[in-house]
Amino acid sequence: MVFILKPDVAKEKIDTFIMGWEQKGFSTILSVGTEHTAVCLIGNTAEIDVDHVVETSDIVSYGKRITEQYKAVNRTVHEDSTVIRVGDARIGEGFFTVISGPCSVESEEQICKIARSVKNSGAKILRGGAFKPRTSPYAFQGKQAEGLAMLRLAKKETGLPIVSEIMNQTQLDLFEDVDILQIGARNMQNFDLLKAVGGLKKPVLLKRGLANTIEELLMSAEYIVAAGNEQVILCERGIRSFETMTRNTLDLSAVVLLKQKSHLPVIADPSHASGIRSLVPPLAKAILAVGADGIMVETHNNPAKALCDGAQSLDLEQFHTLMEDLRKRAAMEDKQL
Ligand code: PEP
Ligand code: MN
């Protein structure tokens, strides 16, 4: 249930209204937008007579039931698109933010070289995996804490904010200097981790699970936002399908639907969605065309020698060419790249 308040209601009146509901056992979400302020009730709202509330309250303009299970991330509750600020970068409506870097941080030289180059090409955020979730326990597991230190160095050298995947909540201290916490596809429903990052004041990049529905992705985001952290970026990264010629199947409808259903920024990852380098630039353009707020693209200074995901990584020149193309297209879409 969401109540849209009349314009310019005094804060004390809103507080009293909220307290009244909380005393009746409801949780509330207050959403202050540019168009209107809304109060969302969470709990068993079946018995509430909406018309009665509107008639008897002097601050409520109208009320409506929210049928979806997700409330805090729902656009009905929060009409304005959320724009997340990380350093000089913005992620959300009006922007097409490019996050780039290697699948894994491999060495100081590697990450700094890539960071300088992608920054020069126009990437606003540097990615680099330090803890890698690998299918095989015998595969390279990432440089771990040492990798995070190398990533910090690249941040210091270039000024780019950094994003890296956190695999469980015991690693939180290690990620203190990481600007955006990535929750990977395999951890999308690690509810303890979702709750833990919900207690932080730091952006979270939440990737869609390999076989999770759009609604499940929204519910995972709800865990984080309901726990108090509103800075969630949703990421479509391809889902498992019957297709074997691509690593995953990019679900472009998910990008569009997520933007419609939620106020959170939505980006997509053409690298993991396809697994094939030559598909990455065309998919990146498609992602921009359907209205996403950005992309995360894997790049490497020497993809043939990459320790992880080389086949889907663009080399630095290919990335530069892609960015030149995206810049023109972003301007046509009225988005700042
Ligand atoms: C990654 O970004 O390197 C990664 C492991 O992605 P995903 O969780 O989408 O597989
Ligand atoms: Mn990867």
pLDDT of the residue at 332 = 96
Name, in order, each residue with C-beta under 8 angstroms of 127's C-beta and a sequence gap of 6 or more: 99, 100, 101, 102, 162, 163, 164, 182, 296, 298
pLDDT of the residue at 43 = 86
Going from the Cα of 132 to the center of ligand 1, the distance in angstroms, rounded, reads 8
**How would you list the strands of the sheet with 37-42, edge to edge?**
27-32, 37-42, 2-5, 60-64
Distance CA 73, CA 256 (A): 15
Please provide the DSSP assignment of 184-227 as one string: -GGGTT-HHHHHHHHTSSS-EEEEPPTT--HHHHHHHHHHHHHT
Which ligand is nearest to the Cα of residue 135, counting in written order? 1
CA distances from 316 to 21, 133, 198, 328 (A): 55, 25, 35, 19
207: Cβ below 6 Å to ligand 1?
yes
> How is residue 195 written in tokens?
């709750």
pLDDT of the residue at 57 = 93
92: Cβ below 6 Å to ligand 1?
no
Closest residue CA from atom 9 of ligand 1: 185
pLDDT tens by residue, 236-249: 999 999 999 999 99
pLDDT tens by residue, 169-184: 999 999 999 999 999 9
Going from the Cα of 337 to the center of ligand 2, the distance in angstroms, rounded, reads 23
pLDDT of the residue at 32 = 85
How far is CA 125 from its chain centroid? 13
Distance CA 129, CA 165 (A): 6
Given a cut of 90, is residue 44 above it in pLDDT? no
Distance CA 323, CA 315 (A): 12
pLDDT of the residue at 36 = 86
> How is residue 249 written in tokens?
């199947």
264: Cβ below 6 Å to ligand 1?
no
- What is the separation, in whole angstroms, between the first and last Cα of the chain? 37
Going from the Cα of 296 to the center of ligand 1, the distance in angstroms, rounded, reads 10
Given a cut of 90, is residue 130 above it in pLDDT? yes
Which ligand is nearest to the Cα of residue 247, counting in written order? 1
pLDDT tens by residue, 190-242: 999 999 999 999 999 999 999 999 999 999 999 999 898 999 999 999 999 99
How far is CA 313 from its chain centroid? 21
Mean pLDDT, range 119-148, rounded to an integer: 97
User: What is the DSSP secondary structure assignment for residue 299, as one 8-state letter?
Assistant: B
User: What is the DSSP secondary structure assignment for residue 311, as one 8-state letter?
Assistant: G
pLDDT of the residue at 60 = 95
Given a cut of 90, is residue 6 above it in pLDDT? yes
Average pLDDT value for the chain? 96
Nearest to residue 287, comparing CAs of 315, 309, 258? 258
Going from the Cα of 99 to the center of ligand 1, the distance in angstroms, rounded, reads 13
Q: Relative to the CA of 296, which ligand 1 atom is closest?
A: 2
Q: Quick count: other Cβ atoms within 10 Å of Cβ 53?
A: 17
Q: Relative to the CA of 127, which ligand 1 atom is closest?
A: 2
Given a cut of 90, is residue 79 above it in pLDDT? no
Given a cut of 90, is residue 316 above it in pLDDT? yes
pLDDT tens by residue, 242-290: 999 999 999 999 999 999 999 999 999 999 999 999 999 999 999 999 9
pLDDT tens by residue, 7-25: 999 999 999 999 999 999 9
Given a cut of 90, is residue 90 above it in pLDDT? yes
Least confident of 58-67, 166-175, 312-321: 58-67
Going from the Cα of 263 to the center of ligand 1, the distance in angstroms, rounded, reads 23
pLDDT of the residue at 46 = 87
Given a cut of 90, is residue 121 above it in pLDDT? yes
Mean pLDDT, range 82-91, rounded to an integer: 97
Mean pLDDT, range 30-49, rounded to an integer: 88
Residues found in the chain: 337
Going from the Cα of 265 to the center of ligand 1, the distance in angstroms, rounded, reads 18
Distance CA 59, CA 6 (A): 6
Q: Quick count: other Cβ atoms within 10 Å of Cβ 174?
A: 16
